[in-house]
Structure 1
Amino acid sequence: MTDASPQTASPTAPVRVALVDDQALVRTGFRLVLDAEPGIDVVGEAGDGRAAVELADATEIDVLLMDVRMPGVDGITATAEVTASHPGTRVIVLTTFDLDEYAFAAIRAGASGFLLKDVRPNELVAAIRTVHEGEATLSPRVTRRMLELFAAELPTEPARPAGASPAGPLDALTAREREILVGIAEGLNNTELSERFFLSESTVKTHVGRVLQKTGARDRVQLVILAYESGLLDAHG
């Protein structure tokens, strides 16, 4: 006789978060917020960039909250090391100043977004979940400023993310995927992309996934930089 009893779905694994800041009080504040949030586990803390890299090497981390301005090894250097060695770890950089050039440098080094240190608790939690799901936590205004700061540093030949085709990271994209990439570079989220192109959100997610796969980009932040460096925004402007 077949057992017809319903099977219990396995619980979703919690998001493993680590905190990096040279001020213990700041780490404590973030920990108090996150410890009270279901589905999020704070798995470690570090007081400087070098300790952050060592923590990432020793601990499985999904999302790392990283201060950019620290003595010794700063958050920019630490972000580059962590994202290079642990591609599955997403970094959100923390800054005291909106549109901080240091924060943008950390994004260029591999971070998936940044937050102000006075971020509201619900916004902090939402950003962690968003980044963990492979999205980026950047507003359109921040995206535009980021591109302005990067413009002066653009190489003569467009940069190619790891894994991209030698012929060019955009060559394999369909016309629709290029349109999706332009929308992402303009700071549109999936809902806004869905409205612009009259597509379902599930279809948009499929397109975004294919764009990430074909370009070899890690997340939407890298796609923004790639679109700008490849001149795609100028072509559609």
Structure 2
Amino acid sequence: MSTPQRVALVTGGSRGIGRAVAARLAADGLAVAVVYRSQQAEADAVVAEVVAAGGQALALRADVADETEVAAAFDAAEAAFGGVDVVVHAAGLMILQPVVDLDLDALDRMHRTNIRGTFVVDREAARRVRAGGAIINLSTSVTRLALPTYAAYAASKGAVDAISLVLAKELRGRDITVNAVAPGPTATELFLDGKDDATVERLAQANPMGRLGTPEDTAEVVSLLAGRGRWVNGQTVYVNGGMA
């Protein structure tokens, strides 16, 4: 009897870490639903790359904070591929401001995407993911690095850690793992936006490895958690090259 193909749904899958995760999981043999909010051309490009390499993929539009749109994305993935085994929630918003100057509208926007979005995606994942599956939420190492201007973003991602660890316990008996993956400074458009070369170099040299992370560094760990790493559950896994 052949083993049914496993299926992954990746939010934020059109760019940055999400894109690298989608590509890696496809290379691992999973069919991949690439969920995007506004970057359709980029999402279509990811799908084209996966298909050209012999894999299966489709692009699905959804605002991760909209429960109706997220449910529709899961419906479409199940209709196309037969089910969902792995959910990687990589969609996120980062706005950096000192607390004293914090724009509360910006705080609300991050709350909606990073916190409400995680609840919405994880709630649907908890209802749909098949036994033997995994739910993986993208967090950040700045929750403990405590870098200036990152308070609001780190607070929203601290919520992601809490949601992940609690959900792992709530899914007792389902054979579904739930973990958060917390990258350090990573060379993505999201991270590099607004930073001058000196700031980027300073952050790179603050790492014992002497460089920024790459999206592929994080995708390697997600691949483990999505596949053979079944004894890692209810954890925040820091993927940051040793930054303290």
| Bigger Rg over Cα | 1
TM-score (ref. length: structure 2): 0.39
Instruction: Flag the structure with more relative contact order, 1 or 2, with Cα contacts below 8 A and sequence separation at least 6.
Output: 2
TM-score (ref. length: structure 1): 0.39
